Amino acid sequence: MINGSEDITVLAGGPAGLAVGYYARKRNLSFAIYEANNRVGGNCITLQKGDFRFDSGAHRLHDKDEEVTEEIKALLGDELHRVSAPSQIFFRDRYIDFPLSPLDLFKKIGAIEFSKAGLSFLKARVNKADLDGSFESLALYRYGRSISEKFLLNYSEKLWGLPCDQLSPNISGKRLKGLDLRTFLIEATLGKLAKTEHLDGAFYYPKMGYGRVVEKMEEFCGPENIRLNHRINRVVHDGKRIQAIGVEGSDRPFRVRQVISTLPLSLLIRSLDPAPPAEILQLANSLRYRHVRLVALFLNKPAINGNATVYFPEKTFPFTRIYEPRNRSQYMSPSGKTSLVVEIPCHREDDIWQLDESELVQLVTQKLVEVDWIQAEDVIDSWCGRLNFAYPILELGFEDKVTQLMTWLDRFDNLWLSGRNGKFAYTHLHDMMRFGKEIVEEQAALVPAV
């Protein structure tokens, strides 16, 4: 067994793992990050093809945690700039503001349909007893059936791969807002001046791509503290503490002191040696993750639209959202050209996960030609990729499962969990930074600084 001298061992080097390393370095705690791939960053990286740069998803930093925002500002310096670009829904060839806005809806869907939606909305508010704890019932209560079916339920089913009556309300985050009488009256009076109160249009973004946040954290952590191509295949314990970790390709496990896992929760539990009881394994295996296929199209066009992100709720589109990198930063595309990054959530058993890259590009291109975003000859080049474990699927009742698993893992007094997959929670970068800071503060109280 190899003696590990580090105070902290971090399992996986995505944003959550790097955040732990970042704060550990600031507190002068020794650490090692074990990453399965030949690079860090997980599903949060910036890629490059030719002169085009693009992110592995529609990432952006919202100022949700002032302390974390200031931390990232200090880390990136003048690389980080503030962007003002809206998000919209593409529905029946029209762009509709998101989060939903009463005045905008009135303008876009017309008085008759809006009136029907209003009656549906009022009916839903009267029938509060219909709330059953699912995302569908919450959406119906907040928006009424007419609006929910058009803009929320179909989209959510495409994203998560389940009917909305089987999904937890937690999938919505804090985005079910804006559609109420007060907002309507404010917008009717102030018009566009009221938009800034609830449209999610301002955020921070690095000039050379969102992956620069990860790259700067990697630099701060130091290459000597990051062990690439070290895939964890065993987590050895004595029932009370994690004693060592096994790495694929090595016969000798690494001893550990304090362990922070950002591995998918189900994978961590399956890696435990000795294995947990059958009921715990069964519970862990019942947790499911949604994967994503990405398609980037590089275009001989100066621009497509001015949106940060465009959402596609209609089932006629295989994708859920598209973003245009140059709307985040002009440095993401060459002058006079632009690109689109398309996200298609799926399960590994779905046909689209196995679809040939050329066929996938053709499918996406055809859909965008149909809505007159592009012409086929505009496509200069393309790229396809896969994101594993992109989203933990927050099924109805998942909280109870996670609580049971966390309670069972509490027996290990030197194990902490962090990150979207580690905690099985729909979290974002500012959450991961906050988790990392809080965990390291706990570690600092347990181990001496070096």
Q: Flag whether 2 is in a domain.
A: no
Does pLDDT of 421 surpass 90? Answer: yes
Rounded Cα distance, 279 and 403, in Å: 14
Give the model's pLDDT for residue 184.
52
Asked if 371 and 364 count as a contact pair (C-beta separation under 8 A), the reply is no
Same domain, 134 and 164: yes
Is 271 found in the same domain as 124? no
Task: Say whether pTM exceeds 0.85.
Answer: yes
**104/155 same-domain check:** yes
Task: List, for residues 281-327, the tens digit of each pLDDT value.
Answer: 999 999 999 999 999 999 999 999 999 999 999 999 999 999 999 99
Measured in whole angstroms, the distance separating CA 252 from the mean position of its chain's CA atoms is 35
Nearest partner of 13 among 405, 439, 432, 356, judged by Cα: 432
Same domain, 258 and 378: no
At a CB cut-off of 8 Å and minimum separation 6, what does 51 contact? 333, 334, 337
Residues 254 and 114 in one domain: no
Per-residue pLDDT of 5-59, as tens digits, reads 689 999 999 999 999 999 999 999 999 999 999 999 999 999 999 999 999 999 9
Q: Give how far Cα 227 sits from Cα of 33, 35, 292, 394, Å.
A: 6, 6, 26, 31
Within a domain: 324 = yes
Q: Taking the mean position of all CA atoms in its chain, how far away is CA 10?
A: 20
**Residues 280 and 401 grouped into a single domain:** yes
Q: What is the arithmetic mean of pLDDT over 50-77?
A: 94
Higher pLDDT, 249 or 409: 409
Distance CA 60, CA 204 (A): 6
Answer yes or no: is 94 within a domain: no
Residue 432 counted as domain residue: yes
Q: The CATH number of the domain where 242 resides is what?
A: 3.50.50.60
Looking at the fold, whether 147 and 193 belong to one and the same domain comes out as yes
| 139-163 confidence digits (pLDDT tens) | 888 888 888 888 889 999 999 999 9
**Chain mean pLDDT for the chain:** 90
Contact 291, 345 (CB under 8 A): yes
Tell me, what's the pLDDT at 198?
A: 43
194 & 123 share domain: yes
Phi-psi region of 173 (alpha: psi -120 to 50; beta: other; left: phi over 0): left
88 belongs to a structural domain: no
Cβ–Cβ under 8 Å, residues 443 and 30: no
> Residues of the chain with pLDDT > 70: what percent?
90
What is the residue range of 312's domain? 289-392
Residue 129, number of CB atoms within 10 A of its CB: 6
- Most confident residue range from 166-175, 189-198, 329-338: 329-338
Residue 251 to residue 372: CA distance in whole angstroms: 57
Token readout for 91 is 């529905």
**Radius of gyration (C-alpha) of the chain in whole angstroms:** 23
- 22, two tokens: 């970042």
Into how many domains does the chain fold? 3
Helix (H, G, I), strand (E, B) or coil at 404: helix
Domain termination residue (choose one: 163, 198, 233): 198
CB-CB contact of 120 with 111 (8 Å): no
Asked whether the predicted pLDDT for residue 185 surpasses 50, the reply is: no
**Quick one: 226 and 257 in the same domain?**
yes
CB within 8 Å of 347: residues ≥ 6 apart: 161, 290, 291, 353
Q: What is the CA angle 166-198-90, rounded to 5?
A: 60
Q: What is the CATH number of the domain that holds 334?
A: 3.90.660.20
| 396-413: average pLDDT | 96
CA 411 – CA 297 distance, rounded (Å): 49
For residue 105, what pLDDT is reported? Answer: 81
269 and 293 inside one domain: no
Which is nearest to 167 in space by CA: 320, 391, 404, 403? Answer: 391
pLDDT surpassing 90 at residue 255:
yes
- For the cut 50, the answer to whether the pLDDT of residue 124 exceeds it is yes
